[in-house]
Amino acid sequence: MANIKPAGVFDTTYEDDMAIDRTRRDKFWKNLAFCALLLVPLLSASGPLGLGLLGDQYIGLIARIAIYVIAVQGLNLLVGYTGQISLGHAAFMGVGAYGSAILARELGFSFWLALPTSALLTGMLGLLFGLPSLRVKGFYLAMATLAAQFIIPWALEYPLAGWTGGTRPLSLPAPMIGPFTPYARDSVSPETPLDFTAGAAFIVDVIAVELTAGAVDSARIDILQPGGAPLPYGDVNMTVTRDAAGNVIALRYIASKAGAYRVQLAGAAEARAEVRRGKALSFATDTAMYYLIVPLAVLLMFLARNLIRTRTGRAFISVRDNDLAAELLGVNVFATKLRAFFLSAVYAGIAGCLLAFERNSISLQMFQLDLSIEMLAMLIIGGAGYPLGALFGVTFIRLLQEAAIPALRPWLSDWLPQLFPFIDAVNITSAINPILFGGALIVFLILEPRGIAHRWELLKAAWKLRPYAY
């Protein structure tokens, strides 16, 4: 079905047959769609052109859709292509999110280093929980991943509480490129504080303060933010360096808000600190994160699409369709399954890391069993085992939530308590979401178990065959 080509296009070589872009028109439309996606933030009010055609919230919405597309595409590799049910995907996302957060907070990794490291870490954990696939399959494997969904959040909540903060939310700095060469060097003493004005959203000021003279234990560096209040040392955007005795000897601060800052030093009169100020490219705004997340999501979707036409991808599909036959054909079934688990967890880890840096704050509540089920629902609704299934499913569910919840809520809160006096209108808001995606999943399982992507293929075939139906 999917192989219908325009008249006159023949695949004369193996390369033609396996090509991702079958015709030049295919390629043109794909590139056009990608460019259009990149131009979307220009339409928003806070974009560089300030057109205001699109609400600012939609930029964040598309970015979050892209994050979940990455996660669900990972699930697609495991569930859709390799046929292994996983109920623990949200836990792997949580590992990615918490892994990158811990790397960034405790070890001072930048986002660019934390992303691949936490993705690899998640992949390793995925391998570990994929090990039961050596002995069990099908429903039993679903049970093993369900155990992962409980064991991993437990481990994050209790044994690792020193790093993760238990159930409390954990905040993160925004990703940044730079700082580039300092544009100013100043010296600060207790009598002469330094005043400076920090810039706008995309380019931010990074200041590094270092004690150079004076008794370390009596000196205290403070950065006063716009408004005059000193910043606490635990601030997300501040990195504190201490000496062996625990005294603060250096500070690094990213001035995320525009306005007047002051660096002041308290302590003995001979104390001196050197302040270097530099510019950096910050990804704190939604638009900047959009340009980080969306191309990455497109790249990962493309990689997954490409993987399916390689030897590994064909091995995935053969294990899904008939594992005994696959083994007979020389596919190492166990290694293939482990590869799928690894890749799926890597995708989940990347998505979790992006989610953590996009929201600047994560908590364990975000990675519960409900999210695993929701992602499975997204995959089935979009179409498991189709390259675009993740995109369709996530977009469908997210748009349904965005459109239907605000539309249904006042209506339901109005007449349900009238009809049944025991219903409290307060409870309706949070309960619509599970009903919505559970209901959508039931409808799709009964009416179209192959998902939206299957309909999309049918539509494409019908378009290519027009005006003849066959």
Partner 1 sequence: MLEIIKKYEAQLRWALYALGAALLLLFLADQLAGKKAARILQTLLSGILVGGVYGLVALGIVVINKASGVFNFAHGWMMVVGGMIFWSFFSVSEISLLGAALLATATMLLAMSTASFSRLRQRRTQLLVLGGSLLLTALMTAGGSDWRWLHALSGAFAGAMLTGLAVERFAIRPLIGQPLFTAVLMTLAIAEVLHGVTQIAWGTVELNLPIFVNPATGSRFQPIRLEGLRELLDGLVIVRVELVIAFVLALVAFSGFIIFFRYTSVGLAMRATAEDQQLAQAVGLRVRVILAISWAAAAFLASIAGVLQGGAVGLSLNISLVALRVFPAVLLGGLESISGAFIGGILIGIVEQFGTLINSSQQVGTNLAPYLVLMLVLVLKPEGLFGEKRIERV
Collapsing DSSP to helix, strand or coil, 210 comes out as strand
Owner of token pair 């660019």: 112
Using rule CB under 8 A, residue 48 touches partner 1: no
Tally of CB atoms within 10 A around 104? 25
- The pattern of x and - marking residues 194 through 213 that bind partner 1 according to CB under 8 A reads --------------------
* Cα–Cα distance for residue pair 237/316, rounded to 1 Å: 43
- Choose the binding region for partner 1 from 100-108, 349-357, 373-381, 453-461 (rule: CB under 8 A): 373-381
Q: Report in angstroms how near the CB of residue 99 gets to partner 1 at its nearest.
A: 20
- Choose the binding region for partner 1 from 33-41, 46-54, 177-185, 417-425 (rule: CB under 8 A): 417-425
Using rule CB under 8 A, residue 28 touches partner 1: no
Residue pair 281/255 in contact (Cβ under 8 Å)? The answer is no
**Which one, 11 or 424, has the nearer CB to partner 1?**
424
Using rule CB under 8 A, residue 370 touches partner 1: yes
Q: Report in angstroms how near the CB of residue 153 gets to partner 1 at its nearest.
A: 8
DSSP run (H or E) holding 57 = helix 56-75
Tally of CB atoms within 10 A around 398? 17
Among 12, 430, 466, 467, binds partner 1 (CB under 8 A): 430
Using rule CB under 8 A, residue 411 touches partner 1: no
- Choose the binding region for partner 1 from 45-53, 288-296, 352-360, 416-424 (rule: CB under 8 A): 416-424
Q: Report in angstroms how near the CB of residue 452 gets to partner 1 at its nearest.
A: 16
Token pair for residue 385? 């085992």
Phi, psi values for residue 363, rounded to 5°: -145, 160
Burial 53-87 (b: 16+ CB within 10 A, else e): ebebebbbbbbbbbbbbbbbbbbbbbbbbbbbbbb
Using rule CB under 8 A, residue 90 touches partner 1: no
Q: Report in angstroms how near the CB of residue 451 gets to partner 1 at its nearest.
A: 12
DSSP code string of 180-203: -S-SEEEEE-SS--EEEEE--SSE
Using rule CB under 8 A, residue 325 touches partner 1: no
Q: Report in angstroms how near the CB of residue 420 gets to partner 1 at its nearest.
A: 5
**Which one, 32 or 131, has the nearer CB to partner 1?**
131
Question: How big is the site for partner 1, counted in residues (CB under 8 A)?
Answer: 56
**Which one, 253 or 444, has the nearer CB to partner 1?**
444
Site residues (vs partner 1, CB under 8 A) = 83, 85, 87, 132-140, 142-144, 146-147, 150-151, 154, 158-159, 323-324, 333, 369-370, 373, 376-377, 380, 416, 419-424, 426-428, 430-439, 441-442, 445-446, 449
